[in-house]
């Protein structure tokens, strides 16, 4: 048996054929739907997700209403979407607080939503569902916000590897990468070293002077003074 104690949540998983609220006492989990199937009369929907290990999420009636309201009645359209599940200890059964699984965040909604749904007989409770970025959307945001070419390369590489087998997602990542790279290339100011190289490579003094003029408003006074010295040594000596 492996002696890894870095994550002990696996030791509290009950022997069950479904995701149990007790599994979430250590904190919420975000799952991505892989399949939706019809179940029994008591639990009519089984939501399968990545890494479930044979324990699908079987939402209660209240959460089924949330899912249908947010994602629509066609369970096939839920595949690929994600939601965050948590343990609500105040959920009652038979008058006792036994805890239950609730949804706090969902992808593929335009904005946060609020639903007033029946909690107990004659009483309703307000359910707030926050907008959750999908894994792909989060990756695209990271790529689009990459501050420089090195960060862009790292963000793209990790995201592209993660989306192995999903060619549509990879195409979206590559398009975002190309767009951000073009923007960084177009807007990034030249450095002192780059201007110095341009001066050394100039065809004649007039061309070198144009480089010097271009650098004047870009470089700091100290760097421009250094570049001026390089110009003088290359073309005035």
- What is the tens place of the pLDDT at every residue in 111-142? 999 998 876 666 788 889 999 988 888 888 88
Q: Give me the pLDDT at residue 141, please.
A: 87
- Rg of the chain on CA atoms, in Å: 28
Token readout for 130 is 């926050």
- pLDDT tens per residue across span 48-82: 998 888 899 999 999 999 999 999 999 999 998 89
Closest CA to 83 of 25, 115, 131: 131
Token readout for 32 is 């991505």
Closest CA to 22 of 94, 85, 112: 85
What share of the chain in percent tops pLDDT 70?
87
Q: Give me the pLDDT at residue 8, please.
A: 62
Q: Give me the pLDDT at residue 47, please.
A: 95
Q: How do the domains of the chain map onto residue ranges?
A: 18-131, 135-187, 192-235
């Amino acid at each position: 048996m492996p002696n890894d104690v870095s994550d002990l949540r696996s030791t509290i998983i009950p022997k069950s054929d479904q995701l149990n609220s007790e599994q979430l006492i250590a904190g919420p989990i975000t799952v991505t739907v892989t399949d939706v199937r019809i179940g029994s009369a008591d639990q009519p929907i089984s939501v399968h997700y990545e890494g479930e290990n044979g324990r699908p999420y079987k939402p209660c009636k209240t959460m089924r209403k949330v899912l249908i309201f947010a994602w629509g009645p066609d369970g096939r359209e839920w595949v690929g979407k994600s939601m965050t599940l948590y343990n609500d200890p105040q959920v009652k059964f038979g008058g006792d607080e036994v805890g239950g699984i609730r949804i706090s965040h969902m992808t593929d909604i335009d904005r946060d939503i609020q639903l007033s749904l029946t909690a107990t007989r004659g009483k309703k409770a307000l359910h707030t569902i926050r907008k959750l970025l999908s894994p792909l959307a989060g990756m695209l945001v990271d790529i689009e916000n990459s501050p420089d070419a090195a960060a862009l390369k790292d963000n793209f590489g990790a995201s592209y590897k993660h989306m192995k087998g999903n060619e549509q997602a990879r195409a979206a990542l590559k398009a975002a990468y190309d767009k951000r790279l073009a923007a960084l290339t177009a807007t990034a100011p030249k450095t002192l070293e780059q201007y110095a190289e341009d001066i050394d490579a100039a065809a004649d003094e007039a061309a070198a002077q144009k480089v010097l003029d271009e650098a004047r408003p870009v470089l700091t006074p100290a760097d421009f003074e250094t570049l001026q010295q390089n110009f003088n040594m290359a073309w005035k000596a």
